[in-house]
């Protein structure tokens, strides 16, 4: 009897131990998964390399799109993915892949970056770009530049060839020229489509009697790329023409490290697109990384939480692309559509609209 | 004997239970404290209001300071604290307190902000400032402005009177003038002391044959204020003249929301000072907030972790001031000194050197 009772006690005690152990583990389940990758597929390397791209989020609706234009977008996204994939497959760096892919998108008038950038209130093009390297957290960014053919190369030069991280305006242009980047006449960035958008918005302003950027997509349009190379290095980059009719040398989130762009080999790489002011105030790109690192949640959870909960509740529209060190990919957006795509050694995807 | 063994087993089991329970709690001790504020003084409101200020971190050493200059700094820090305290004590807002205190510091030639700003390579003054409000995460920032008497008022105007968060250069100046802020001839910002610093560094450059900012304190000097008002609202603001001899319209961390400045009523308010490039790359101000929110650690732990571990290991020098919603205050720096002080309804402190 006494023995039985003791036995009983021992059992109760063991069960109690297991219960407490289990409940303790349960408060931070992801941490344990992280330490033991075998328990979750998403915590294992999925692919040798990965590349994810976006060409802007906004009111992109099937009914407003011609088949021809849709095919143009798809073909350009496909071309961009292939260029990046070839670099990564051949063992190239994620930095090379990101810069090369963004250049292709900047050179296309389809996207609001480089050739195709929207016009400011003064009828000029003022572009922003940034890039960040996840292995050493080095970064480069430029804001409000008008005569460098590929703004992303200016951001890369700030990262690689200067002691600074962020330069703007004439100074950034002088630096870019001093390191031999290709300069162009600012007229190079003229496209009829974007010029007409500005005229339309200026007319609306005249009738309203006040400054507005309140036309579909006048706030949006950015290109961004995140890549994971075979060595496990993550790089993220973003380039934009900003907001149609922008005034006062406004800077959006794209050149702001932590807002529009962030990369850290231990967590993820992120490039954002959307209503830039919200992305700055919520430090969106860094927030994804911070939630993964400190809360121990997955890339998917973290990126959806910020885009579909925090930003959505605050009224901030847009989206982001991101990948983690395992090659998991996330592309959430709270707008009707986002030009997007990704490629890994196993999969290839291109999308425009939401569900 | 058998009974003894069972008894022994029961004891071991109970000890094991307690050990596991303790070690589980130990992995996230602050989370539990947070849920039960009564268990930790630091998780209770300490004070009706609080204000913390800095006037820059750097190689500030007792042996390089005259008594007279030291007293001047102390008197100005004291004056600044009193102005903020009077506003908060009378039930004023943390926004008012932050702007008023920063204006006093900008008007003083002692600090590298406003009157007293350092010179760029071109012999001009180009100032940056930002402010963020913790209740709604609204923010305003300006970069590279030269003719607004108090740059912090330009940041405040961007927050309150524009749909944007960040403006730079001539555009930011035009906006500030359009809302009626006091403009001055850029010569207003001339001070002999800062002009001589530039000449000294330009001479060094000539002999070295390359661009340098490598003179003590040429990288540092900023002012910042964080306040908690009686309503529990936190506001953080930062203002700076940047880096002596800066080129290429370099932007540091001060106007970068998430880097030099961040505020969130749920966590803390932060203003940074130091080698700006590191503070941008590590998204320092947002990181303090993120560690508190996601790791559940205290303001003290989070701010020391970033300044004395992450940044120090990366080679980034500087410091920060911060306060949380309970009125706890933290002022870590990894440089020899930081001009700093705080005031609450119970305490008042002014400091210059480290230990």
Facing B169 at nearest CB: one of A17, A24, A168: A168
Query: What's chain B's average pLDDT?
Result: 88
User: Considering only CB atoms, which chain A residues are within 8 Å of B132?
Assistant: 281
pLDDT of res. A7: 45
pLDDT tens-digit map of A77-114: 999 999 999 999 999 999 999 999 999 999 999 999 99
pLDDT tens-digit map of B87-114: 999 999 999 999 999 999 999 999 999 9
User: Considering only CB atoms, which chain B residues are within 8 Å of A13?
Assistant: 10, 13-14, 17
Give the pLDDT band (50/70/90) at residue A214: low
Q: Name the minimum distance, in Å, from the CA of A337 to any CA of chain B.
A: 24
Do B10 and A7 make contact, defined as CB atoms within 8 angstroms?
A: no
The interface predicted TM-score (ipTM) is 0.87
The DSSP bridge partners found for residue A143 are A168
pLDDT tens-digit map of B301-340: 999 999 999 999 999 999 999 999 999 999 999 999 999 9
pLDDT of res. B91: 98
Residue of A nearest to B7 (CA): A6
pLDDT at B24 over 50: no
Residue of B nearest to A212 (CA): B163
pLDDT at B1 over 50: no
CA distances from A162 to A193, A306, B152 (A): 36, 33, 28
Please state, as a whole number, how many other Cβ atoms lie within 10 Å of the Cβ of residue A203. 10
Residue of A244, A281, A305, A309 to mutate for B, most B C-beta atoms under 10 A:
A281
The answer to whether the CB of B121 falls within 8 A of the CB of B250 is no
3-state helix, strand, coil in chain A (%, to 5): 45, 20, 35
Which residues of A does the annotation mark as catalytic? 222
Rounded Cα–Cα distance for residues B263 and B131 (Å) = 9
Q: Name the minimum distance, in Å, from the CA of A192 to any CA of chain B.
A: 25
Residue of B nearest to A1 (CA): B3
pLDDT of res. B2: 44
User: Considering only CB atoms, which chain A residues are within 8 Å of B262?
Assistant: 283
The answer to whether the CB of A116 falls within 8 A of the CB of A194 is yes
Rounded Cα–Cα distance for residues B285 and B220 (Å) = 17
The answer to whether the CB of B273 falls within 8 A of the CB of B320 is yes
Distance, C-alpha B208 to centroid of its chain: 34
Rounded Cα–Cα distance for residues A169 and A220 (Å) = 21
pTM (2 d.p.): 0.88
Q: Report how many helices (DSSP H) and strands (DSSP E) chain A contains, helices first.
A: 11, 12
Domains and CATH numbers, chain B: 41-353 (3.60.20.30)
Rounded Cα–Cα distance for residues B173 and B168 (Å) = 8
Catalytic-role residue among B120, B213, B222, B335: B222
Residue A353 host element (H or E): strand A348-353
User: Considering only CB atoms, which chain A residues are within 8 Å of B20?
Assistant: 17, 20-21, 24
**What value, to the nearest 5°, has the Cα angle with vertex B123 and ends B215 and B114?**
85
pLDDT of res. A242: 86
Strands B50-58 and B223-228: antiparallel
The answer to whether the CB of B80 falls within 8 A of the CB of B349 is no
pLDDT of res. B44: 81
Rounded Cα–Cα distance for residues B58 and A264 (Å) = 28
pLDDT tens-digit map of B261-313: 999 999 999 999 999 999 999 999 999 999 999 999 999 999 999 999 999 99
Give the pLDDT band (50/70/90) at residue B128: very high
Rounded Cα–Cα distance for residues B25 and B34 (Å) = 13
- Token representation of residue A99: 């810069």
pLDDT of res. B183: 95
Do B168 and A168 make contact, defined as CB atoms within 8 angstroms?
A: yes
More confident residue, B115 or A39: B115
The answer to whether the CB of A325 falls within 8 A of the CB of A265 is yes
pLDDT of res. A218: 58
- Token representation of residue B144: 């590279």
Do B280 and A294 make contact, defined as CB atoms within 8 angstroms?
A: no
């Amino acid at each position: 009897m006494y023995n039985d009772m003791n036995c009983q006690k021992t059992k109760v005690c063991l069960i109690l131990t297991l219960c407490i152990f289990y409940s303790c583990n349960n408060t931070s389940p992801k941490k344990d998964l992280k330490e033991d990758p075998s328990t979750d597929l998403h915590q294992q390397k999925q692919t040798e390399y990965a590349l994810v791209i976006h060409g802007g989020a906004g009111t992109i609706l099937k009914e407003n799109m011609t088949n021809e234009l849709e095919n143009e977008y798809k073909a350009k996204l496909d071309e961009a993915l292939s260029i990046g994939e070839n670099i990564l497959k051949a063992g190239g760096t994620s930095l090379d892949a990101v810069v090369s892919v963004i250049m292709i998108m900047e050179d296309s008038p389809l996207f609001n970056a480089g050739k195709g950038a929207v016009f400011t209130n003064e009828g000029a093009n003022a572009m922003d770009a940034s890039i960040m390297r996840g292995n050493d957290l080095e970064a480069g960014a430029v804001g409000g530049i008008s005569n460098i053919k590929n703004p992303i190369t200016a951001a890369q030069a700030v990262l690689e060839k200067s002691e600074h991280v962020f330069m703007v305006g004439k100074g950034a242009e002088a630096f870019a020229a001093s390191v031999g980047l290709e300069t162009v006449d600012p007229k190079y960035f003229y496209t009829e489509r974007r010029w007409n958008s500005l005229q339309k918005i200026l007319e609306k302003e005249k009738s309203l009697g006040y400054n507005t950027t309140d036309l579909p997509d006048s706030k949006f349009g950015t290109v961004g790329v995140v890549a994971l190379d075979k060595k496990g290095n993550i790089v993220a980059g973003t380039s934009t023409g900003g907001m149609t009719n922008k005034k006062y040398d406004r800077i959006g989130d794209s050149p702001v490290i932590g807002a529009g762009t962030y990369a850290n080999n231990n967590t993820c790489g992120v490039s954002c697109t959307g209503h830039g002011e919200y992305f700055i105030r919520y430090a969106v790109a860094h927030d994804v990384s911070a939630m993964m690192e400190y809360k121990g949640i997955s890339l998917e959870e973290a990126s959806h939480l910020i885009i579909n909960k925090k930003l959505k509740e605050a009224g901030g529209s847009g989206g982001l692309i991101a990948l983690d060190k395992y090659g998991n990919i996330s592309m959430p957006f709270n707008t009707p559509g986002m030009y997007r795509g990704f490629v890994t050694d196993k999969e290839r995807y291109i999308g425009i609209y939401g569900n």
